[in-house]
Amino acid sequence: MDWHSPSLFALLGPQDWKNLVSRVIPEDCLELLEGLNSAGVRYLLGGDAALNFYGVGRAVGILELVTDPAAGVPSGFLEVLGRKGWVPAGHDGTADPLTVGGDVPTWAFRSGQESGIPVKAAPSGDMAFDPAFSRRLEVRCDRLTIPVLSLVDLIAVKRASPGQRDNADAGILERILRMRGG
């Protein structure tokens, strides 16, 4: 495992990263991310899981994935979810878009496996996906590379959210960015 982006955790060793990833993301979710990578589905890890990779410890209740709005929900995404035993958790039991927090369609899925943590996939909204994807932080752990929203993009997503906790998270992340000289 190696780290390819400047971070507060630049001094952590490989075992430290493996421990962090395994504590932040349950095994069934890691298997899902591995399947998405194998299928060539482009996504970025966001939400509480992403916060952990910038030094903000947060329990993960929902694994949030940012997707390309031009692609909607890519067919490879749905195929991998089905193969891995994930089922739609939408209000009507389908993978049809739900409107969550405004105009952004969000697809929700739940694993039948151990963690029971739902996965929420949403287009990147006002953020241009391709530039955000090119700025991603790559967390490499054993067999898996996890693309994580960059610190700047995570701040933008948090600031765009109407939630008070998201705004507080953005403030913490901005302090971290300033500490890093950004």
Distance CA 50, CA 177 (A): 15
182 within a domain of the structure (yes/no): no
Q: What is the mean pLDDT of residues 5-19?
A: 52
Is pLDDT above 50 for 5?
A: no
Residue count of the chain, please give it: 182
Within-domain flag for 26: yes
Q: Which CATH number is 73's domain given? A: 3.30.460.40
In a domain, residue 73? The reply is: yes
Predicted local confidence at residue 16, as pLDDT: 60
Q: 1 lies in a domain?
A: no
C-beta neighbour count of 103 within 10 angstroms: 8
Question: Tell me, what's the pLDDT at 173?
Answer: 93
Indicate the number of domains in the chain. 1
Arithmetic mean of pLDDT over the chain: 74
pLDDT at position 97:
43
**What's the mean pLDDT in 85-100?**
56
What stretch of H or E contains 16?
A: helix 14-24
Query: What is the four-CA torsion angle of 134, 81, 107, 125, rounded to 10 degrees?
Result: 10
pLDDT digits (tens, 9 = 90+) for 32-68: 888 889 888 888 999 888 998 888 888 777 888 887 7
> In Å, how far are 64, 82, 103 from 92, measured between CA atoms?
20, 17, 18
**Is residue 9 assigned to a domain?**
no
Over residues 147-173, the mean pLDDT reads: 90
Q: Which tens digit of pLDDT belongs to each residue from 107-123?
A: 666 666 655 566 776 65
Contact 40, 96 (CB under 8 A): no
Residue 129: per-residue pLDDT: 84
Report the C-alpha gap between 96 and 180 in whole angstroms.
41
Tell me whether residue 8 is in a domain.
no
Confidence of residue 154 (pLDDT cuts 50, 70, 90): very high
Indicate whether 5 belongs to any domain.
no
Q: Where are the beta strands (DSSP E) in 59-163?
A: 63-67, 86-88, 98-99, 105-111, 118-123, 137-141, 144-148
For 47, the domain range is 14-177
* pLDDT mean over 88-106: 53
Q: Tell me if 142 is assigned to some domain.
A: yes
Residue pointed to by tokens 């209740």: 61
